[in-house]
Structure 1
Protein backbone atom coordinates (compact mmCIF):
# COMPACT_ATOMS: atom_id res chain seq x y z
CA UNK A 1 0.00 0.00 0.00
CA UNK A 2 1.36 3.43 -0.91
CA UNK A 3 1.43 6.34 1.56
CA UNK A 4 -1.72 8.40 2.21
CA UNK A 5 -2.72 10.94 -0.42
CA UNK A 6 -2.65 13.87 2.04
CA UNK A 7 1.08 14.37 2.60
CA UNK A 8 3.21 16.96 4.33
CA UNK A 9 6.02 18.79 2.57
CA UNK A 10 8.59 16.52 4.26
CA UNK A 11 6.67 13.42 3.19
CA UNK A 12 6.50 14.61 -0.41
CA UNK A 13 10.22 15.38 -0.34
CA UNK A 14 11.11 11.95 1.04
CA UNK A 15 8.87 10.11 -1.42
CA UNK A 16 10.58 12.04 -4.24
CA UNK A 17 14.01 11.12 -2.82
CA UNK A 18 13.02 7.45 -2.59
CA UNK A 19 11.57 7.44 -6.11
CA UNK A 20 14.69 9.02 -7.61
CA UNK A 21 16.98 6.65 -5.72
CA UNK A 22 14.90 3.62 -6.66
CA UNK A 23 14.91 4.65 -10.32
CA UNK A 24 18.72 4.70 -10.25
CA UNK A 25 18.97 1.33 -8.51
CA UNK A 26 16.25 -0.51 -10.45
CA UNK A 27 17.41 0.78 -13.84
CA UNK A 28 20.98 -0.31 -13.05
CA UNK A 29 20.36 -3.65 -11.34
CA UNK A 30 16.83 -4.69 -12.31
CA UNK A 31 14.16 -5.66 -9.81
CA UNK A 32 15.84 -8.88 -8.70
CA UNK A 33 19.26 -7.32 -8.24
CA UNK A 34 18.02 -4.30 -6.28
CA UNK A 35 17.61 -4.24 -2.51
CA UNK A 36 15.84 -1.95 -0.06
CA UNK A 37 19.20 -1.28 1.61
CA UNK A 38 20.66 -0.06 -1.69
CA UNK A 39 17.70 2.24 -2.29
CA UNK A 40 17.85 3.63 1.26
CA UNK A 41 21.58 4.39 0.91
CA UNK A 42 21.03 6.00 -2.47
CA UNK A 43 18.27 8.18 -0.97
CA UNK A 44 20.38 9.01 2.12
CA UNK A 45 17.60 7.72 4.34
CA UNK A 46 17.56 5.05 7.02
CA UNK A 47 15.95 1.75 6.07
CA UNK A 48 13.19 2.16 8.73
CA UNK A 49 12.46 5.65 7.39
CA UNK A 50 12.15 4.31 3.84
CA UNK A 51 9.87 1.48 4.99
CA UNK A 52 7.57 4.01 6.62
CA UNK A 53 6.70 5.26 3.13
CA UNK A 54 6.90 1.99 1.21
CA UNK A 55 6.58 -1.32 3.06
CA UNK A 56 8.60 -3.35 0.54
CA UNK A 57 10.78 -3.30 -2.54
CA UNK A 58 7.74 -4.47 -4.52
CA UNK A 59 5.73 -1.44 -3.39
CA UNK A 60 8.45 0.97 -4.52
CA UNK A 61 8.79 -0.80 -7.87
CA UNK A 62 5.04 -0.83 -8.51
CA UNK A 63 4.81 2.87 -7.62
CA UNK A 64 7.54 3.73 -10.11
CA UNK A 65 6.09 1.59 -12.90
CA UNK A 66 2.54 2.91 -12.51
CA UNK A 67 3.85 6.48 -12.67
CA UNK A 68 6.06 5.62 -15.62
CA UNK A 69 3.27 3.99 -17.63
CA UNK A 70 1.20 7.16 -17.60
CA UNK A 71 4.14 9.27 -18.79
CA UNK A 72 5.26 6.64 -21.31
CA UNK A 73 1.87 6.59 -23.04
CA UNK A 74 1.56 10.36 -23.47
CA UNK A 75 3.22 10.53 -26.92
CA UNK A 76 0.91 7.82 -28.28
CA UNK A 77 -2.14 9.55 -26.81
CA UNK A 78 -1.17 12.68 -28.74
CA UNK A 79 -1.34 10.90 -32.10
CA UNK A 80 -4.54 12.36 -33.55
CA UNK A 81 -6.72 11.13 -36.40
CA UNK A 82 -7.41 14.70 -37.54
CA UNK A 83 -3.79 15.49 -38.43
CA UNK A 84 -1.76 14.74 -41.52
CA UNK A 85 -1.03 10.99 -41.30
CA UNK A 86 2.68 11.04 -42.08
CA UNK A 87 3.27 14.10 -39.89
CA UNK A 88 1.46 12.40 -37.01
CA UNK A 89 3.58 9.25 -37.31
CA UNK A 90 6.85 11.17 -37.62
CA UNK A 91 5.95 13.38 -34.66
CA UNK A 92 5.29 10.26 -32.60
CA UNK A 93 8.67 8.85 -33.62
CA UNK A 94 10.40 12.08 -32.59
CA UNK A 95 8.59 12.20 -29.25
CA UNK A 96 9.54 8.61 -28.47
CA UNK A 97 13.15 9.31 -29.41
CA UNK A 98 13.14 12.40 -27.21
CA UNK A 99 11.87 10.30 -24.30
CA UNK A 100 14.76 7.88 -24.81
CA UNK A 101 17.17 10.82 -24.75
CA UNK A 102 15.65 12.57 -21.73
CA UNK A 103 14.48 9.55 -19.69
CA UNK A 104 16.90 6.66 -20.27
CA UNK A 105 16.58 5.27 -16.73
CA UNK A 106 12.81 5.09 -17.03
CA UNK A 107 13.13 3.28 -20.35
CA UNK A 108 15.54 0.72 -18.87
CA UNK A 109 13.29 0.23 -15.84
CA UNK A 110 10.36 -0.54 -18.14
CA UNK A 111 12.48 -2.81 -20.35
CA UNK A 112 13.71 -4.77 -17.32
CA UNK A 113 10.13 -5.28 -16.16
CA UNK A 114 9.05 -6.57 -19.58
CA UNK A 115 12.05 -8.94 -19.84
CA UNK A 116 11.05 -10.44 -16.49
CA UNK A 117 7.54 -11.15 -17.79
CA UNK A 118 5.92 -7.93 -16.54
CA UNK A 119 4.93 -9.38 -13.13
CA UNK A 120 3.99 -5.98 -11.71
CA UNK A 121 2.24 -4.35 -14.68
CA UNK A 122 0.84 -7.19 -16.80
CA UNK A 123 -2.71 -6.07 -16.02
CA UNK A 124 -1.90 -2.54 -17.24
CA UNK A 125 -0.34 -3.88 -20.43
CA UNK A 126 -3.38 -6.00 -21.27
CA UNK A 127 -5.90 -3.29 -20.38
CA UNK A 128 -4.77 0.37 -20.56
CA UNK A 129 -1.96 -0.16 -23.05
CA UNK A 130 -3.92 -2.56 -25.26
CA UNK A 131 -6.94 -0.24 -25.36
CA UNK A 132 -4.79 2.73 -26.40
CA UNK A 133 -2.85 0.78 -29.04
CA UNK A 134 -6.10 -0.65 -30.45
CA UNK A 135 -7.48 2.88 -30.75
CA UNK A 136 -4.41 4.25 -32.54
CA UNK A 137 -4.05 1.16 -34.74
CA UNK A 138 -7.61 1.74 -35.95
CA UNK A 139 -6.74 5.33 -36.86
CA UNK A 140 -3.60 4.25 -38.73
CA UNK A 141 -5.50 1.47 -40.52
CA UNK A 142 -8.07 4.03 -41.62
CA UNK A 143 -5.36 6.25 -43.10
CA UNK A 144 -3.93 3.29 -44.98
CA UNK A 145 -7.33 2.19 -46.26
CA UNK A 146 -7.92 5.72 -47.56
CA UNK A 147 -4.59 5.70 -49.41
CA UNK A 148 -3.09 8.38 -47.15
CA UNK A 149 -0.32 6.04 -45.95
CA UNK A 150 1.31 3.08 -47.66
CA UNK A 151 -0.15 -0.20 -46.39
CA UNK A 152 1.45 -1.93 -43.40
CA UNK A 153 0.34 -3.74 -40.28
CA UNK A 154 -0.47 -0.90 -37.84
CA UNK A 155 0.40 -2.92 -34.73
CA UNK A 156 3.80 -3.96 -36.03
CA UNK A 157 4.39 -0.39 -37.16
CA UNK A 158 3.88 0.76 -33.56
CA UNK A 159 6.09 -2.08 -32.28
CA UNK A 160 8.85 -1.06 -34.69
CA UNK A 161 8.67 2.56 -33.52
CA UNK A 162 9.01 1.41 -29.92
CA UNK A 163 12.00 -0.82 -30.65
CA UNK A 164 13.84 1.62 -32.91
CA UNK A 165 13.50 4.57 -30.54
CA UNK A 166 13.88 2.89 -27.15
CA UNK A 167 17.02 1.09 -28.37
CA UNK A 168 18.96 4.32 -27.82
CA UNK A 169 18.11 4.28 -24.11
CA UNK A 170 18.05 0.55 -23.37
CA UNK A 171 21.31 -0.14 -25.25
CA UNK A 172 22.98 3.21 -24.61
CA UNK A 173 26.35 1.66 -23.71
CA UNK A 174 26.39 -0.42 -26.89
CA UNK A 175 25.40 2.53 -29.08
CA UNK A 176 28.19 4.74 -27.69
CA UNK A 177 30.78 1.94 -27.82
CA UNK A 178 30.07 1.24 -31.49
CA UNK A 179 29.86 4.88 -32.58
CA UNK A 180 32.99 5.84 -30.64
CA UNK A 181 34.00 9.07 -28.90
CA UNK A 182 33.88 11.15 -32.07
CA UNK A 183 30.07 10.85 -32.13
CA UNK A 184 29.05 11.46 -28.50
CA UNK A 185 25.41 12.37 -29.22
CA UNK A 186 23.64 9.84 -31.46
CA UNK A 187 20.22 11.47 -31.30
CA UNK A 188 20.40 14.07 -34.13
CA UNK A 189 21.56 11.40 -36.59
CA UNK A 190 19.05 8.90 -35.18
CA UNK A 191 16.20 11.35 -35.72
CA UNK A 192 17.29 12.06 -39.28
CA UNK A 193 17.66 8.35 -40.04
CA UNK A 194 14.31 7.33 -38.55
CA UNK A 195 12.53 10.23 -40.27
CA UNK A 196 13.89 9.04 -43.62
CA UNK A 197 13.14 5.39 -42.83
CA UNK A 198 9.49 5.90 -41.90
CA UNK A 199 8.91 8.49 -44.62
CA UNK A 200 10.08 6.05 -47.30
CA UNK A 201 8.10 3.24 -45.76
CA UNK A 202 4.81 5.09 -45.28
CA UNK A 203 4.61 7.83 -47.91
CA UNK A 204 1.75 6.77 -50.21
CA UNK A 205 2.44 6.17 -53.86
CA UNK A 206 0.39 8.42 -56.19
CA UNK A 207 -0.50 5.31 -58.17
CA UNK A 208 -1.80 3.38 -55.17
CA UNK A 209 -5.61 3.57 -54.90
CA UNK A 210 -7.41 3.46 -51.55
CA UNK A 211 -8.12 -0.02 -50.22
CA UNK A 212 -10.97 -1.41 -48.20
CA UNK A 213 -10.36 -1.49 -44.47
CA UNK A 214 -10.12 -5.03 -43.12
Structure 2
Protein backbone atom coordinates (compact mmCIF):
# COMPACT_ATOMS: atom_id res chain seq x y z
CA UNK A 1 0.00 0.00 0.00
CA UNK A 2 1.31 3.43 -0.90
CA UNK A 3 2.29 5.76 1.92
CA UNK A 4 -0.20 8.49 2.79
CA UNK A 5 0.46 11.92 4.20
CA UNK A 6 -1.13 12.32 7.62
CA UNK A 7 -3.56 15.24 7.75
CA UNK A 8 -2.19 18.20 9.68
CA UNK A 9 -3.81 21.42 10.87
CA UNK A 10 -3.58 24.16 8.23
CA UNK A 11 -1.46 26.28 10.53
CA UNK A 12 1.20 23.59 10.97
CA UNK A 13 3.72 22.32 8.43
CA UNK A 14 4.17 18.54 8.45
CA UNK A 15 7.40 17.47 10.11
CA UNK A 16 10.03 15.83 7.92
CA UNK A 17 11.43 12.64 9.38
CA UNK A 18 15.06 11.58 9.00
CA UNK A 19 14.07 8.85 6.53
CA UNK A 20 12.04 11.32 4.49
CA UNK A 21 14.99 13.72 4.37
CA UNK A 22 17.30 10.90 3.25
CA UNK A 23 14.85 9.76 0.56
CA UNK A 24 14.32 13.30 -0.71
CA UNK A 25 18.08 13.80 -0.90
CA UNK A 26 18.49 10.53 -2.81
CA UNK A 27 15.83 11.61 -5.29
CA UNK A 28 17.53 14.96 -5.90
CA UNK A 29 20.94 13.33 -6.36
CA UNK A 30 19.50 10.83 -8.82
CA UNK A 31 17.55 13.54 -10.63
CA UNK A 32 20.66 15.67 -11.06
CA UNK A 33 22.43 12.79 -12.79
CA UNK A 34 19.43 12.01 -15.00
CA UNK A 35 18.62 15.61 -15.95
CA UNK A 36 22.28 16.49 -16.62
CA UNK A 37 22.57 13.44 -18.91
CA UNK A 38 19.25 13.55 -20.77
CA UNK A 39 17.99 17.10 -20.25
CA UNK A 40 14.57 17.92 -18.87
CA UNK A 41 12.59 16.75 -21.89
CA UNK A 42 14.56 13.54 -22.30
CA UNK A 43 14.27 12.50 -18.64
CA UNK A 44 11.47 10.51 -17.04
CA UNK A 45 10.28 9.91 -13.52
CA UNK A 46 10.90 6.19 -14.06
CA UNK A 47 14.58 6.88 -14.81
CA UNK A 48 14.92 9.03 -11.69
CA UNK A 49 13.19 6.45 -9.49
CA UNK A 50 15.41 3.67 -10.83
CA UNK A 51 18.57 5.73 -10.27
CA UNK A 52 17.39 6.58 -6.74
CA UNK A 53 16.73 2.91 -5.99
CA UNK A 54 13.05 3.30 -5.18
CA UNK A 55 9.70 2.59 -6.76
CA UNK A 56 7.90 5.19 -8.84
CA UNK A 57 4.95 5.35 -6.37
CA UNK A 58 7.41 5.96 -3.53
CA UNK A 59 9.07 8.78 -5.47
CA UNK A 60 5.68 10.33 -6.25
CA UNK A 61 5.03 10.53 -2.51
CA UNK A 62 7.73 13.21 -2.37
CA UNK A 63 7.28 14.90 -5.76
CA UNK A 64 4.08 14.85 -7.78
CA UNK A 65 5.54 15.96 -11.12
CA UNK A 66 8.80 15.84 -13.02
CA UNK A 67 8.73 19.65 -13.11
CA UNK A 68 8.70 19.73 -9.29
CA UNK A 69 11.79 17.52 -9.11
CA UNK A 70 13.59 19.61 -11.72
CA UNK A 71 12.86 22.87 -9.88
CA UNK A 72 13.97 21.33 -6.56
CA UNK A 73 17.30 20.19 -8.09
CA UNK A 74 17.98 23.68 -9.44
CA UNK A 75 17.03 25.34 -6.16
CA UNK A 76 19.29 22.94 -4.23
CA UNK A 77 22.13 23.92 -6.58
CA UNK A 78 21.47 27.60 -5.93
CA UNK A 79 21.31 26.96 -2.18
CA UNK A 80 24.81 25.45 -2.32
CA UNK A 81 26.12 28.34 -4.41
CA UNK A 82 24.51 31.04 -2.28
CA UNK A 83 25.77 29.67 1.05
CA UNK A 84 29.35 30.99 0.61
CA UNK A 85 28.00 34.35 -0.61
CA UNK A 86 25.78 34.58 2.46
CA UNK A 87 28.91 34.12 4.60
CA UNK A 88 30.57 37.25 3.18
CA UNK A 89 31.42 39.14 6.38
CA UNK A 90 31.03 42.95 6.26
CA UNK A 91 33.56 43.23 9.10
CA UNK A 92 36.16 40.99 7.49
CA UNK A 93 39.07 41.87 5.23
CA UNK A 94 37.54 42.42 1.76
CA UNK A 95 40.28 40.62 -0.17
CA UNK A 96 40.22 37.59 2.12
CA UNK A 97 36.42 37.46 2.18
CA UNK A 98 36.28 37.50 -1.61
CA UNK A 99 39.18 35.02 -1.83
CA UNK A 100 37.21 32.54 0.30
CA UNK A 101 34.07 33.09 -1.74
CA UNK A 102 35.82 32.63 -5.09
CA UNK A 103 37.71 29.57 -3.86
CA UNK A 104 34.52 27.88 -2.70
CA UNK A 105 32.73 28.69 -5.95
CA UNK A 106 35.57 27.08 -7.90
CA UNK A 107 35.44 24.03 -5.63
CA UNK A 108 31.70 23.67 -6.22
CA UNK A 109 32.20 23.83 -9.99
CA UNK A 110 34.86 21.11 -9.78
CA UNK A 111 32.87 18.94 -7.36
CA UNK A 112 29.51 19.28 -9.13
CA UNK A 113 30.10 20.20 -12.79
CA UNK A 114 26.83 18.54 -13.80
CA UNK A 115 24.92 20.92 -11.51
CA UNK A 116 26.58 23.95 -13.08
CA UNK A 117 25.81 22.73 -16.60
CA UNK A 118 22.20 21.97 -15.72
CA UNK A 119 21.82 25.46 -14.25
CA UNK A 120 23.38 27.02 -17.37
CA UNK A 121 20.86 25.17 -19.52
CA UNK A 122 18.01 26.52 -17.43
CA UNK A 123 19.33 30.07 -17.81
CA UNK A 124 19.67 29.68 -21.60
CA UNK A 125 16.05 28.53 -21.70
CA UNK A 126 14.88 31.70 -19.94
CA UNK A 127 14.69 30.20 -16.42
CA UNK A 128 11.12 28.83 -16.78
CA UNK A 129 11.42 26.67 -13.65
CA UNK A 130 13.16 29.03 -11.23
CA UNK A 131 12.52 32.51 -12.56
CA UNK A 132 10.65 33.49 -9.40
CA UNK A 133 13.52 32.21 -7.23
CA UNK A 134 15.97 34.38 -9.16
CA UNK A 135 13.81 37.49 -8.83
CA UNK A 136 13.20 37.02 -5.09
CA UNK A 137 15.77 35.23 -2.96
CA UNK A 138 18.74 35.56 -5.34
CA UNK A 139 18.03 39.21 -6.08
CA UNK A 140 17.59 40.07 -2.41
CA UNK A 141 20.85 38.37 -1.38
CA UNK A 142 22.87 39.88 -4.22
CA UNK A 143 21.55 43.37 -3.47
CA UNK A 144 22.52 42.91 0.18
CA UNK A 145 26.06 41.71 -0.59
CA UNK A 146 26.50 44.33 -3.30
CA UNK A 147 25.83 46.85 -0.57
CA UNK A 148 28.64 45.32 1.51
CA UNK A 149 31.05 45.54 -1.44
CA UNK A 150 29.98 49.12 -2.13
CA UNK A 151 30.85 50.07 1.46
CA UNK A 152 34.30 48.48 1.08
CA UNK A 153 34.84 50.55 -2.08
CA UNK A 154 33.69 53.73 -0.32
CA UNK A 155 36.12 53.00 2.52
CA UNK A 156 38.97 52.64 0.04
CA UNK A 157 39.43 48.97 0.90
CA UNK A 158 38.70 47.90 -2.68
CA UNK A 159 39.36 49.55 -6.04
CA UNK A 160 36.41 51.47 -7.53
CA UNK A 161 34.29 48.68 -9.03
CA UNK A 162 30.64 48.03 -9.67
CA UNK A 163 29.66 45.35 -7.12
CA UNK A 164 27.04 43.70 -9.33
CA UNK A 165 29.41 43.30 -12.26
CA UNK A 166 32.11 42.02 -9.92
CA UNK A 167 29.77 39.24 -8.80
CA UNK A 168 28.74 38.51 -12.40
CA UNK A 169 32.43 38.20 -13.33
CA UNK A 170 33.08 35.85 -10.39
CA UNK A 171 30.17 33.63 -11.39
CA UNK A 172 31.35 33.51 -15.01
CA UNK A 173 34.99 32.73 -14.25
CA UNK A 174 34.30 30.13 -11.57
CA UNK A 175 31.68 28.23 -13.57
CA UNK A 176 33.39 28.24 -16.96
CA UNK A 177 35.51 25.21 -16.01
CA UNK A 178 32.31 23.21 -15.62
CA UNK A 179 30.08 24.75 -18.30
CA UNK A 180 32.76 24.87 -21.01
CA UNK A 181 34.83 21.84 -20.05
CA UNK A 182 34.69 20.47 -23.62
CA UNK A 183 36.04 23.74 -25.01
CA UNK A 184 38.85 23.90 -22.45
CA UNK A 185 39.84 20.29 -23.15
CA UNK A 186 39.84 20.95 -26.89
CA UNK A 187 42.35 23.79 -26.38
CA UNK A 188 44.55 22.41 -23.59
CA UNK A 189 44.30 18.69 -24.35
CA UNK A 190 45.92 16.31 -21.86
CA UNK A 191 47.04 19.19 -19.65
CA UNK A 192 43.50 19.29 -18.22
CA UNK A 193 43.89 15.85 -16.69
CA UNK A 194 47.29 16.28 -15.14
CA UNK A 195 47.70 16.55 -11.34
CA UNK A 196 47.46 20.08 -10.08
CA UNK A 197 45.58 21.50 -13.07
CA UNK A 198 42.50 22.43 -11.06
CA UNK A 199 44.59 24.08 -8.36
CA UNK A 200 46.52 26.03 -11.00
CA UNK A 201 43.27 27.11 -12.63
CA UNK A 202 41.86 28.26 -9.30
CA UNK A 203 45.00 30.25 -8.54
CA UNK A 204 44.86 31.91 -11.96
CA UNK A 205 41.27 33.00 -11.43
CA UNK A 206 42.07 34.30 -7.94
CA UNK A 207 45.06 36.26 -9.22
CA UNK A 208 43.12 37.86 -12.06
CA UNK A 209 40.11 38.83 -9.98
CA UNK A 210 41.84 39.83 -6.75
CA UNK A 211 44.53 41.88 -8.48
CA UNK A 212 41.78 43.72 -10.28
CA UNK A 213 39.97 44.72 -7.08
CA UNK A 214 42.87 45.57 -4.78
CA UNK A 215 42.95 49.23 -3.74
CA UNK A 216 45.18 51.38 -5.95
CA UNK A 217 48.06 53.23 -4.32
CA UNK A 218 47.91 56.97 -4.75
CA UNK A 219 50.71 58.55 -6.70
Q: TM-score, normalised by structure 2?
A: 0.84
Q: Which 5+ residue runs of structure 2 have no aligned equivalent?
A: 6-13
Alignment of 1:60-71 (within 5 A): 60-71=69-80
Pick the aligned partner of 1:203 from 205, 210, 214: 214
Greater RCO (CA < 8 Å, at least 6 residues apart)? 1
What is the alpha-carbon distance in structure 1 between the residues aligned to residue 202 and residue 22 of structure 2? 36
Distance 1:76 1:6 in 2: 27
Correspondence for 1:126: 135
Which aligned segments of 4 or more residues in structure 1 are displaced greater than 4 angstroms? none
Matches within 5 A, 1:12-161: 12-161=21-170
1:37-81 CA-partner distances (Å, limit 9, x unpaired): 322332343433432332210121122223222222011111111
C-alpha distance in structure 2 between counterparts of 1:50 and 1:91, whole Å: 37
* CA distance in structure 1 between the partners assigned to 2:79 and 2:133 by the alignment: 10
Residue correspondences, number: 205
User: Please, what TM-score do these two structures have when normalized by structure 1?
Assistant: 0.85
Deviates more, 1:40-49 or 1:141-150: 40-49
Q: d(CA) in 2 for partners of 1:57 and 1:175?
A: 33
Deviations 1:113-163 (A, max 9, x none): 222211221111111111111111111111112221111111001000000
The residue number in structure 2 matching 1:192 is: 203
Residues 25 and 38, structure 1, Cα contact 8 Å, conserved in 2: yes
Q: Is the 8 Å Cα contact of residues 35 and 57 (structure 1) preserved in structure 2?
A: yes
Equivalent residues of 1:31, 1:113 under 8 A apart: no
Match of 2:192 among 183, 196, 209: 183
RMSD value over aligned CA atoms? 2.1
Once residues 46 and 8 of structure 1 are traced to their aligned partners in structure 2, the CA distance between those partners, rounded to angstroms, is 19
Q: 1:205 to 1:121 in 2, by over 3 A?
A: same
Q: Greater CA deviation, 13-22 or 159-168?
A: 13-22
Q: Distance in 1 between matches of 2:89 and 2:22?
A: 36
Name the SS for the 2:182 alignment partner: helix
